[in-house]
Structure 1
Amino acid sequence: MGAYDQRRERARPHAYAGERQVARVPDRRHGPLGREASPRGRHAPDLGREGAAGRCTQVKRDARGFTLLELLIALTIVGALLVIAFGGMRVALAAWRKGEDRAEAHQHVRSIALVLARSISATYPYTATREQGPTPSLLFGGTATRLELVTQTAPYPASIPVAFTAVVFEVSTKEDRPGLVIRQRVLPNRNPFTDAEVAFNDPTVVELSFSYMDEGGAWQDSWDTEQRKNLPRAIRIGVGTRIGGRAETLPPLTVSLRVGTE
């Protein structure tokens, strides 16, 4: 008996035939029938019908979307952003148009000055009678706002090539033809300046000035060939325009004369 009892004490216990070993199932925190578990703990007391009603209310509140107030606020923000964007575009467009107008006005006054400079640089000491005078004289004369000369490069050439053209530059204040007026008459001809015909008129030119450099390098406001008997060494031109209320004045342009006479 003693040996038998010792063997039974050392033996491992055996499970009964009717018992089965079952592994523990992990808790995935899901309620019965697959419904989502309550946020409360697994072993928390059941809240009953009031707790279930609270959970249903929370689900419905999250699923209903934006309210009318939220929609109005969103539309207000979008409208404000659109107003800011279109305002910026309007300012940029106005600045672009302003720059284009300024560039156009500057280019216009520059083109006028270049036309005058090209003809003045080709001034020739042409001698002929003025009006009905019997004595030939140098066909050149100028004041601060008017210039008469004979050039080999007419501002607007005739249909046939000619060597010399009498030209008059002035700013007219007449209502029918205001602004810059350029008159031309081919030579030889009588009364080259008084009978010259209008070849160009630009009403946007509101300012035209001339200065004449003498032999000593001083600038004069007028030039009379009856007294000086020669051409000036250079002529300084000033041109100003007004387009659409915008005034544009070009810096004075000095043109040297290539020939002179005593």
Structure 2
Amino acid sequence: MNNKDQARSFFFSNKGMTTLELLISLSLLGLVLMVISGGLRFGGAVWQRGTIEHQQVSTLFSLQSHLGSRLSSALAYPLKTRSGAKKIIFSGYPDRVVFIGSAVAADKKSILYLHELTLDKSKGNLRLKTTPFDPGKTDLSSLSKAETSILPAKYDQIRISYYGGDENSWNTSWLNKQELPKLIKLEMISGKDPAVDPHELIIELGKQTGL
């Protein structure tokens, strides 16, 4: 048999693949598919994580714009109690803030508003109630009929803290009726792992008027 016949016999042999060759081929194919599948899963996870980060950054900018304008207008508005003592209308808790803010109307006159910011823990949203403030009323009953705006934060945990006081430190609540805190911080966490670093939004409050 010459060389040409040997080559033809090699390429056109009808013996097919042996069992060992078939197993090796299938193993290599499975390895390639596993690598491709792993790469696709990794790429999908990176894409999803990037999308979540983008949404959270957009949320922070939205909250900064909406809450920043309200909280920066906060006033240490003095209110006389029935006993004659003066106190400001501001109450700060880990999940709720009540304060007086001002806004400029179309006729350039300043209008006072009563605001209440609360957390909806079940949905991860912030709710902001706003109603015109009546200095003649010493209670906060008007908040029950106030207009409510829902600020979608979509975080699993949100905490509010307050900076100021004699020691200039962060506090989980603010019940000082003589002055406003200097700063308010919102800590927003995705997931329930306490070790995860929160996204922080720090807002400077408005004017510190004396009583």
Instruction: Settle same-fold status: TM greater than 0.5.
Output: yes
The residue number in structure 1 matching 2:56 is 105
Q: Quick check: 1:182 aligned with 2:131?
A: no
Q: Quick check: 1:169 aligned with 2:117?
A: yes
Cα distance between partner residues in 1 of 2:71 and 2:183: 8
Cα distance between partner residues in 2 of 1:261 and 1:143: 23
Cα distance between partner residues in 1 of 2:199 and 2:103: 23
RMSD value, Cα: 4.2
Q: 2:186 aligns with which of 208, 229, 238?
A: 238
Q: 1:84 to 1:162 in 2, by over 3 A?
A: same
Q: 1:184 to 1:256 in 2, by over 3 A?
A: closer
Q: CA deviation at 1:192?
A: 6.8
Q: 1:140 aligns with which of 80, 87, 90?
A: 90
Cα distance between partner residues in 2 of 1:183 and 1:242: 25
Q: Quick check: 1:223 aligned with 2:170?
A: no
The residue number in structure 2 matching 1:260 is 209
The residue number in structure 2 matching 1:6 is none
Question: Which has more radius of gyration?
Answer: 1
Q: 2:162 aligns with which of 201, 207, 211?
A: 211
Q: As a proportion of its length, which structure holds more strand? A: 2
SS of 1:68's partner is coil
- Higher relative contact order, chain-length normalized (CA < 8 Å, sep 6+): 2
Q: 1:204 to 1:60 in 2, by over 3 A?
A: closer
Contact persistence 2:72–2:203 (CA under 8 A):
no
Q: CA deviation at 1:128?
A: 5.0
Per-residue CA shift, 1:6-45, capped at 9, x if unaligned? xxxxxxxxxxxxxxxxxxxxxxxxxxxxxxxxxxxxxxxx
Per-residue CA shift, 1:187-213, capped at 9, x if unaligned? 337467332223326584532323241
Q: Quick check: 1:249 aligned with 2:198?
A: yes
Q: 1:179 to 1:81 in 2, by over 3 A?
A: closer
Cα distance between partner residues in 1 of 2:120 and 2:7: 87
Contact persistence 1:141–1:223 (CA under 8 A):
yes
- % identity of equivalent residues: 10
SS of 1:258's partner is coil
Per-residue CA shift, 1:58-77, capped at 9, x if unaligned? 25414516863189579634
Contact persistence 1:235–1:254 (CA under 8 A):
yes
Cα distance between partner residues in 1 of 2:103 and 2:134: 15
Cα distance between partner residues in 1 of 2:40 and 2:14: 32
Q: 1:243 to 1:165 in 2, by over 3 A?
A: farther
Contact persistence 1:233–1:260 (CA under 8 A):
no
Give unpaired runs (5+ residues) of structure 2: none
TM-score, normalised by the number of residues in structure 2: 0.65
User: Aligned runs of 1:1-262 on 2, under 5 Å?
Assistant: 54-55=1-2, 58-64=6-12, 68-69=16-17, 72=22, 76=26, 77-78=28-29, 80-109=31-60, 111-112=62-63, 114-127=65-78, 138-153=88-103, 163-172=111-120, 180-188=126-134, 190=137, 193-196=140-143, 197=146, 198-200=148-150, 202=152, 204-205=154-155, 206-214=157-165, 217-219=168-170, 221-225=173-177, 228=178, 231-232=179-180, 234-242=182-190, 249-251=198-200, 253-262=202-211
Cα distance between partner residues in 2 of 1:234 and 1:80: 60
Q: 1:89 to 1:67 in 2, by over 3 A?
A: farther
Partner AA of 2:183 in structure 1 = I
Cα distance between partner residues in 1 of 2:162 and 2:66: 17
Q: 1:90 to 1:138 in 2, by over 3 A?
A: closer
TM-score, normalised by the number of residues in structure 1: 0.55
Cα distance between partner residues in 1 of 2:189 and 2:142: 27
